[in-house]
Structure formats: structure tokens, C-alpha cells
Amino acid sequence: MKITQIKSHILQYDLPEELGYSQQYYARRTAHLVEVTTDEGITGWGECFGPGNVAIANKTIVEKVIQPLVVGENPLDRDVLWHKVYNLLRDHGQKGMPLQSLSGVDIALWDIAGKVAGLSISQLIGGRHRTKVPVYGYGMMLRREDASSLVCRFKHEAAAIKEMGFAATKMKLGLGPKDDAKLAQAVREGVGPNFRFMADANHCYTTADAFYVGRALEELDCYWFEEPIAPEDYDGYRELRAGLKVNISGGEAEFNRWGWRGLLEARALDIAQPEVCALGGISEYLRVLALCHAHFVPVVNHVWGSAVAVAANLQLLAAMPPLPGGLFPSEPMLEFDTTHNSFRDELLKEPLGIQQQVKQNGGYASVPSGPGLGIEPDPDFIRHYEIDG
């Protein structure tokens, strides 16, 4: 079997309403799918992290840089191909967009391997520790509204997410320390005293401001404080982790095993959040997971994107060993964006239906059982939303 083509599909549409987080507002939803075809008619699907113009730039890397390196090769040699591409691109970027692009290709190669073997990716990895995973719903995005209006909105939206049946919820931060503390208070009021909630800053604070917000989150019994400061600031993360009771989480902006080695050796995180569509794909994710568990740091994957990304993460969460183990181990959760996302809800011939599953199954979603990712994108849907890049 040989790889005959690698094609990027950039999908985009205008959102019903503008959304925001601490770094920007955005009005369009983007997804970057990767399709790897073979001479035996088996096709694999992957996804690259990165919206908007980042996705368009990554399309060029996928098709003009990575494709010539692997066309004609055996797609089952995925680890060989990973290292071939990484080694040849090492002089041009060990992090960021080259790794995002390689991630989509690698995920597609795992999808092909599963289809060839007739096994799901979780079975290829070594089996399923669980057949369903708890799901947390994130929402409470920023809007161009004053703080008092957002406080009211966050309270009602948090209550609505809880009512949907999710196992936990997550809010965005980014207005500034004092207003963010008010937003967090509103979320706690919305979900009540015994429901787990988390807060995501998308690295918008200085360490001093992060301490202010972190102490407010402690008082509200927030479960984790995500990306409080710049991802490069390992010392700041270590200080926050030592000085706050709330769990410090992060890692979505870290890449490959070497980047994660430094982050973990710094003892910077209570909870690791690797992004499989960015850090180097499933091949590299498994090495990062092993590093995290070697440092006794639990993993809750970062998930953003289409149904391809969701399916990949369901497979990985199924195969994740419990840490540290026991009769009642802490279960990893699937991150689920509750805002409008047609690329997650309508992309597949047979939709995953995560929200329906959550409502019916007490906050849980099942892991697809078919070969590879266990999903099949709808080509007509892709053609409808694909843009020229």
C-alpha cells in the first residue's frame, strides 16, 4: 500500500453571533481537515489545530511541504514517516504550525491503520480502559458587552449547561482580574454549590494578577485554573501551583515530547491538557501521555475543532490508563464546546450526537466502535463549506 495524495480541506462559515476569549473576538468557525488517500482505496482523516488564516497557512505546509515527503510511502509506517517529516522540518520549527500540520497527517495515518486492521484506534493503542467518558461542556464566552451584562449572561448560561446534563462546565476569563472574579462568582451561583466548574484564562494574566484571580477561584471551589499566564513562563506556573489551592492546568500550546519534557520537569502543572491536533498527532500524543504519567500528572485532553477531533479524542480517552488506579479512579473528561459548531454536529454521515448522549446517559458519551476513528465525513457537507486557501 502506498500514499497517493494528501489533501487539506479548509471549512468555514459565519457564526450566528460573535464570540470571544481573552485574546480576540471572532465571527467565523473554521476547521482544517486532512484527507490521506492510498492506492488501495483506503482513506484516512485527520485534523489540524488552528483557525482562520492559520488554517490556510497550514494547508500550504500539509500539501506543499509534507505531502512530497510521504507520497509513495507505506501509510502503515506512520512512526517512520513522523520522524522523517519532523527531522527534515526541525531546522524550520520544532513547535507551532509545522507540528499542527504534521498532526493532521499523523491522525489520518492512524485512521488508515485502524481501517486496514479492522480495529478502532483505541484497540490499536492497546485496548479500552473505558467504553464511555464523562463530558464537560464549556461556554460562557466573552461578548462585546459591559461586565454587568456578562455577569447575568454567564450565570444563566452556566445553569443551562448544567441542565443539559454535562458532568461539569468551563467558563472563559479575560475582562481583567476584578471583573473576572465577578464572572466566576456568577458561574458558581448558576451551577450551585456541588457542581464542578473550571475557568480558562487563555494566558491573559501576569503572575500577580493570576494570583488575585486564583484566590477568588479558590473561594468558589473552582476545579482548575487553565492557562493563567503565558505558556513560556514555567517559573510563573510553578509559583502559582505552589501558592494556590486551585489546580493549575495547561499545555494546549506546548508541542512534542521535548517541549512537554521541560514543562513537566518544571513541575508546572497539576493537570496536563495536550492538544492532539497540534502537538504532533496521535503518535506524539502517546509519547507525551507517557511522560505526563511518568511524572504522575493526570491528563484531560484539550479538544477544539470538528467531529474528527472529537472522535480522535474519544479514542485516546478510552485508551488512557487510570492514574494512579484504584477501585474508584479519577476519570478523564471529554471537552465539549457548547457554542454553535456545524463542523462538529453535521460533518459526519452518522453524527456523534454528543449532546444527546450526555442528556440521556448521565453526562457520558460513548466511544465510536468502528475501525480507525470510527467515523466517516460526508463529502457533500465538506464541498458545501470548503473555501479556497
User: Angle at Cα 353 formed by Cα 349 and Cα 356, nearest 5°?
Assistant: 150
CA dihedral over 3, 125, 134, 205, signed as positive or negative: negative
DSSP string, 323-370: SS--SSPPPP-EEEE-S--HHHHSSBSS---HHHHHHHTTSEEEPP-S
Q: CA–CA distance from 41 to each of 1, 36, 38, 113, 381 (Å)? A: 9, 10, 6, 13, 21
Q: What is the CA radius of gyration of the chain?
A: 20
CA neighbours closer than 13 Å in the CB half-sphere of residue 61: 25
Concatenating the DSSP letter of every residue in 46-88 gives EEE---HHHHHHHHHIIIIIIHHHHTTS-TT-HHHHHHHHHHH
Catalytic residue, chosen from 9, 295, 302, 384, is 302
Rounded to whole angstroms, the Cα distance separating 355 from 374 reads: 18
Q: Residues in the chain, how many?
A: 389
Residue from 30, 60, 62, 58 nearest 385 by CA: 30
DSSP conformation letters of 98-120? HHHHHHHHHHHHHHHHHHHHT-B
> CA-to-CA distance for 363 and 321, rounded, in angstroms?
20
Locate the DSSP E strands across 130-227: 132-138, 168-172, 197-200, 224-226
Q: CB-based contacts of 41: which residues, under 8 Å, 6+ apart?
A: none
How far apart, in whole angstroms, are the C-alpha atoms of residue 60 and residue 156? 42
Is 302 in the active site? yes
Contact in structure between 298 and 313 (CB atoms under 8 Å): no
Could you list the active site residues?
Answer: 302
